[in-house]
Amino acid sequence: MSATVTAGEGRIGPRGTLRHIGALARRNLLQIKADPESMLDALLMPVILTLLFVYVFGGAISGSRHSYVGYVVPGLLAMMGINIAMAVGTGINTDFRTGVMDRFRTMPIARSSVLVAKIVVEAGRMVVAMAILLGMGFLLGLDVRTDALHLLAAVGLALVFGASLMWIFILLGLTMKTAQAVQGAAMLVLMPLQFGSSIFAPTRTMPGWLRAFTEVNPLSNLADASRGLVNGGPVGHAVWVTLAWAVGITAVTAPLAVARFRKKV
Protein backbone atom coordinates (compact mmCIF):
# COMPACT_ATOMS: atom_id res chain seq x y z
CA MET A 1 0.00 0.00 0.00
CA SER A 2 2.81 2.44 0.85
CA ALA A 3 4.40 1.92 -2.55
CA THR A 4 1.14 2.99 -4.15
CA VAL A 5 0.74 6.18 -2.23
CA THR A 6 4.31 7.38 -2.17
CA ALA A 7 4.98 7.04 -5.86
CA GLY A 8 5.37 10.30 -7.72
CA GLU A 9 6.18 12.52 -4.74
CA GLY A 10 9.02 14.14 -6.67
CA ARG A 11 11.82 15.56 -4.53
CA ILE A 12 10.43 14.21 -1.26
CA GLY A 13 11.93 10.84 -0.43
CA PRO A 14 10.52 8.02 1.67
CA ARG A 15 12.18 9.29 4.87
CA GLY A 16 10.73 12.75 4.42
CA THR A 17 7.32 11.29 3.65
CA LEU A 18 7.42 9.25 6.87
CA ARG A 19 8.27 12.39 8.85
CA HIS A 20 5.34 14.18 7.29
CA ILE A 21 3.02 11.28 8.06
CA GLY A 22 4.15 11.34 11.69
CA ALA A 23 3.67 15.09 12.01
CA LEU A 24 0.23 15.02 10.40
CA ALA A 25 -0.84 12.01 12.46
CA ARG A 26 0.15 13.95 15.57
CA ARG A 27 -1.94 16.88 14.34
CA ASN A 28 -4.95 14.61 13.89
CA LEU A 29 -4.45 13.17 17.38
CA LEU A 30 -4.32 16.68 18.82
CA GLN A 31 -7.60 17.42 17.07
CA ILE A 32 -9.14 14.42 18.81
CA LYS A 33 -7.72 15.63 22.13
CA ALA A 34 -9.26 19.06 21.56
CA ASP A 35 -12.58 17.48 20.55
CA PRO A 36 -12.98 14.29 22.63
CA GLU A 37 -16.58 13.94 21.46
CA SER A 38 -15.17 12.74 18.14
CA MET A 39 -14.27 9.50 19.93
CA LEU A 40 -17.84 8.77 21.01
CA ASP A 41 -18.51 6.48 18.06
CA ALA A 42 -15.43 4.38 18.79
CA LEU A 43 -16.16 4.27 22.53
CA LEU A 44 -19.93 3.80 22.64
CA MET A 45 -20.88 2.06 19.41
CA PRO A 46 -19.30 -1.29 20.39
CA VAL A 47 -21.15 -1.23 23.72
CA ILE A 48 -24.51 -0.32 22.20
CA LEU A 49 -24.30 -2.79 19.31
CA THR A 50 -23.20 -5.68 21.49
CA LEU A 51 -25.92 -5.16 24.09
CA LEU A 52 -28.56 -4.52 21.45
CA PHE A 53 -27.93 -7.60 19.34
CA VAL A 54 -27.22 -9.98 22.20
CA TYR A 55 -30.27 -9.08 24.29
CA VAL A 56 -32.72 -8.39 21.45
CA PHE A 57 -31.82 -11.14 18.97
CA GLY A 58 -29.69 -13.59 20.94
CA GLY A 59 -32.47 -15.83 22.22
CA ALA A 60 -34.39 -15.80 18.94
CA ILE A 61 -31.44 -16.60 16.68
CA SER A 62 -29.28 -18.97 18.73
CA GLY A 63 -31.66 -20.15 21.41
CA SER A 64 -29.54 -18.62 24.17
CA ARG A 65 -27.78 -15.33 24.65
CA HIS A 66 -24.57 -17.02 25.75
CA SER A 67 -24.16 -18.99 22.54
CA TYR A 68 -25.08 -15.95 20.45
CA VAL A 69 -22.27 -13.93 22.04
CA GLY A 70 -19.76 -16.33 20.52
CA TYR A 71 -21.45 -15.92 17.16
CA VAL A 72 -22.11 -12.19 16.93
CA VAL A 73 -19.06 -10.64 18.64
CA PRO A 74 -16.52 -12.01 16.11
CA GLY A 75 -18.91 -10.93 13.36
CA LEU A 76 -19.15 -7.42 14.81
CA LEU A 77 -15.39 -7.06 14.37
CA ALA A 78 -16.16 -6.71 10.67
CA MET A 79 -18.83 -4.10 11.33
CA MET A 80 -16.57 -2.02 13.60
CA GLY A 81 -14.00 -1.62 10.85
CA ILE A 82 -16.58 -0.35 8.39
CA ASN A 83 -18.26 2.14 10.71
CA ILE A 84 -14.98 3.66 11.85
CA ALA A 85 -13.62 3.74 8.30
CA MET A 86 -16.57 5.85 7.18
CA ALA A 87 -15.36 8.70 9.40
CA VAL A 88 -12.29 9.15 7.19
CA GLY A 89 -14.37 10.28 4.23
CA THR A 90 -16.51 12.71 6.19
CA GLY A 91 -13.41 14.07 7.95
CA ILE A 92 -11.44 14.79 4.80
CA ASN A 93 -14.50 16.36 3.17
CA THR A 94 -14.88 18.65 6.18
CA ASP A 95 -11.18 19.57 6.04
CA PHE A 96 -11.60 20.80 2.48
CA ARG A 97 -14.77 22.74 3.22
CA THR A 98 -13.32 24.44 6.31
CA GLY A 99 -10.12 25.51 4.57
CA VAL A 100 -7.70 23.22 6.41
CA MET A 101 -6.34 21.88 3.12
CA ASP A 102 -5.57 25.40 1.90
CA ARG A 103 -2.61 25.50 4.30
CA PHE A 104 -1.22 22.27 2.90
CA ARG A 105 -1.07 23.77 -0.61
CA THR A 106 1.70 26.15 0.49
CA MET A 107 3.67 23.60 2.52
CA PRO A 108 6.49 21.46 1.07
CA ILE A 109 4.98 18.17 2.17
CA ALA A 110 4.25 14.89 0.44
CA ARG A 111 0.62 15.18 -0.60
CA SER A 112 -0.06 11.50 0.02
CA SER A 113 1.13 11.88 3.63
CA VAL A 114 -2.09 13.78 4.42
CA LEU A 115 -4.18 10.76 3.43
CA VAL A 116 -1.92 8.15 5.01
CA ALA A 117 -1.82 10.08 8.30
CA LYS A 118 -5.61 10.04 8.41
CA ILE A 119 -5.63 6.29 7.80
CA VAL A 120 -3.07 5.74 10.58
CA VAL A 121 -5.11 7.69 13.13
CA GLU A 122 -8.41 6.11 12.10
CA ALA A 123 -6.79 2.68 12.31
CA GLY A 124 -5.91 3.56 15.92
CA ARG A 125 -9.55 4.48 16.58
CA MET A 126 -10.54 1.18 14.99
CA VAL A 127 -8.28 -0.73 17.39
CA VAL A 128 -9.87 1.09 20.35
CA ALA A 129 -13.37 0.22 19.14
CA MET A 130 -12.45 -3.44 18.63
CA ALA A 131 -10.85 -3.64 22.08
CA ILE A 132 -14.02 -2.28 23.68
CA LEU A 133 -16.12 -4.69 21.61
CA LEU A 134 -14.08 -7.67 22.82
CA GLY A 135 -14.20 -6.35 26.38
CA MET A 136 -18.00 -6.25 26.20
CA GLY A 137 -17.97 -9.72 24.70
CA PHE A 138 -15.91 -11.07 27.61
CA LEU A 139 -18.27 -9.42 30.10
CA LEU A 140 -21.20 -11.16 28.42
CA GLY A 141 -19.48 -14.55 28.41
CA LEU A 142 -17.43 -14.71 25.21
CA ASP A 143 -15.18 -17.77 25.22
CA VAL A 144 -12.06 -17.79 23.05
CA ARG A 145 -11.79 -21.46 22.16
CA THR A 146 -8.50 -21.06 20.32
CA ASP A 147 -5.79 -18.86 21.84
CA ALA A 148 -4.64 -15.26 22.14
CA LEU A 149 -2.71 -15.36 18.86
CA HIS A 150 -5.79 -16.43 16.91
CA LEU A 151 -7.79 -13.68 18.60
CA LEU A 152 -5.17 -11.11 17.61
CA ALA A 153 -5.22 -12.53 14.08
CA ALA A 154 -8.99 -11.92 13.95
CA VAL A 155 -8.50 -8.32 15.07
CA GLY A 156 -5.65 -7.85 12.59
CA LEU A 157 -7.69 -9.23 9.70
CA ALA A 158 -10.58 -6.88 10.50
CA LEU A 159 -8.11 -4.00 10.76
CA VAL A 160 -6.53 -4.77 7.38
CA PHE A 161 -9.91 -4.98 5.68
CA GLY A 162 -11.15 -1.84 7.41
CA ALA A 163 -8.03 0.06 6.31
CA SER A 164 -8.67 -0.94 2.71
CA LEU A 165 -12.23 0.41 2.95
CA MET A 166 -10.88 3.76 4.12
CA TRP A 167 -9.62 4.40 0.59
CA ILE A 168 -13.19 4.07 -0.71
CA PHE A 169 -14.45 6.59 1.84
CA ILE A 170 -11.54 8.94 1.14
CA LEU A 171 -12.46 8.84 -2.55
CA LEU A 172 -16.09 9.57 -1.66
CA GLY A 173 -15.01 12.41 0.62
CA LEU A 174 -12.92 13.95 -2.16
CA THR A 175 -15.67 13.56 -4.76
CA MET A 176 -18.89 14.55 -3.00
CA LYS A 177 -19.77 18.10 -1.99
CA THR A 178 -20.73 17.69 1.66
CA ALA A 179 -19.99 15.39 4.57
CA GLN A 180 -23.69 14.57 4.78
CA ALA A 181 -23.65 13.41 1.16
CA VAL A 182 -20.62 11.21 1.90
CA GLN A 183 -22.37 9.64 4.87
CA GLY A 184 -25.60 9.14 2.96
CA ALA A 185 -23.90 7.48 0.00
CA ALA A 186 -21.85 5.28 2.31
CA MET A 187 -24.93 4.07 4.20
CA LEU A 188 -26.71 3.18 0.95
CA VAL A 189 -23.85 0.80 0.18
CA LEU A 190 -23.06 -0.42 3.68
CA MET A 191 -26.56 -1.30 4.90
CA PRO A 192 -27.13 -4.07 2.30
CA LEU A 193 -23.57 -5.33 2.80
CA GLN A 194 -23.90 -5.47 6.59
CA PHE A 195 -27.33 -7.03 6.86
CA GLY A 196 -26.99 -9.18 3.74
CA SER A 197 -24.14 -11.08 5.38
CA SER A 198 -23.44 -13.65 8.06
CA ILE A 199 -22.49 -11.01 10.65
CA PHE A 200 -25.73 -11.20 12.64
CA ALA A 201 -27.35 -14.50 11.69
CA PRO A 202 -26.52 -17.76 9.91
CA THR A 203 -27.37 -17.71 6.22
CA ARG A 204 -29.05 -21.14 6.06
CA THR A 205 -32.56 -19.72 6.55
CA MET A 206 -32.14 -17.00 3.91
CA PRO A 207 -33.77 -17.32 0.48
CA GLY A 208 -31.54 -18.69 -2.26
CA TRP A 209 -30.90 -15.39 -4.02
CA LEU A 210 -29.83 -13.75 -0.75
CA ARG A 211 -27.62 -16.69 0.20
CA ALA A 212 -25.90 -16.36 -3.17
CA PHE A 213 -25.21 -12.71 -2.39
CA THR A 214 -23.85 -13.48 1.08
CA GLU A 215 -21.40 -15.99 -0.37
CA VAL A 216 -19.66 -13.28 -2.41
CA ASN A 217 -20.13 -10.56 0.20
CA PRO A 218 -16.66 -9.78 1.62
CA LEU A 219 -18.18 -9.01 5.02
CA SER A 220 -19.48 -12.59 5.25
CA ASN A 221 -15.99 -13.91 4.56
CA LEU A 222 -14.50 -11.57 7.15
CA ALA A 223 -17.14 -12.49 9.74
CA ASP A 224 -16.70 -16.22 9.06
CA ALA A 225 -12.91 -15.91 9.25
CA SER A 226 -13.09 -14.01 12.56
CA ARG A 227 -15.55 -16.54 13.92
CA GLY A 228 -13.28 -19.42 13.00
CA LEU A 229 -10.23 -17.72 14.51
CA VAL A 230 -12.06 -17.12 17.79
CA ASN A 231 -14.19 -20.26 18.07
CA GLY A 232 -12.03 -22.70 16.14
CA GLY A 233 -12.71 -24.39 12.82
CA PRO A 234 -11.53 -24.03 9.22
CA VAL A 235 -10.53 -20.47 8.35
CA GLY A 236 -8.08 -20.72 5.44
CA HIS A 237 -10.49 -20.03 2.58
CA ALA A 238 -12.30 -17.17 4.35
CA VAL A 239 -9.01 -15.55 5.41
CA TRP A 240 -7.50 -15.63 1.94
CA VAL A 241 -10.68 -14.34 0.31
CA THR A 242 -10.82 -11.47 2.80
CA LEU A 243 -7.18 -10.58 2.19
CA ALA A 244 -7.75 -10.75 -1.57
CA TRP A 245 -10.65 -8.31 -1.23
CA ALA A 246 -8.52 -5.97 0.89
CA VAL A 247 -5.65 -5.99 -1.61
CA GLY A 248 -8.01 -5.55 -4.56
CA ILE A 249 -9.91 -2.66 -2.98
CA THR A 250 -6.67 -0.88 -2.05
CA ALA A 251 -5.08 -1.45 -5.47
CA VAL A 252 -8.08 0.05 -7.24
CA THR A 253 -9.16 2.88 -4.96
CA ALA A 254 -5.88 4.12 -3.41
CA PRO A 255 -4.41 5.42 -6.73
CA LEU A 256 -7.77 7.00 -7.61
CA ALA A 257 -8.00 8.69 -4.21
CA VAL A 258 -4.42 9.99 -4.34
CA ALA A 259 -4.91 11.29 -7.89
CA ARG A 260 -8.12 13.02 -6.90
CA PHE A 261 -6.46 14.54 -3.84
CA ARG A 262 -3.53 15.90 -5.86
CA LYS A 263 -5.96 17.43 -8.32
CA LYS A 264 -7.87 19.19 -5.53
CA VAL A 265 -4.77 20.53 -3.75
Give the count of beta carbons closer than 10 Å to the beta carbon of residue 47.
15
> What is the spatial distance between Cα 263 and Cα 258, in angstroms, rounded to a whole number?
9
CA-based radius of gyration for the chain: 19
Who's near 229: CB < 8 A, 6+ residues apart? 74, 146, 150, 151, 153, 154, 157, 235, 239
pLDDT in tens, 118-155: 888 989 999 999 999 999 999 998 989 999 999 999 99
Start-to-end Cα distance in the chain: 21
The total of structural domains in the chain comes to 1
239 inside domain:
yes
5 inside domain:
no
- pLDDT surpassing 80 at residue 265: no
83 inside domain:
yes
Q: Which domain holds residue 198?
A: 12-264
- State percent of the chain over pLDDT 70: 90
pLDDT in tens, 47-98: 998 999 898 888 788 777 888 999 999 999 888 888 888 888 888 888 787 7
67 inside domain:
yes
| pTM, entire model | 0.85
2 inside domain:
no
49 inside domain:
yes
130 inside domain:
yes
20 inside domain:
yes
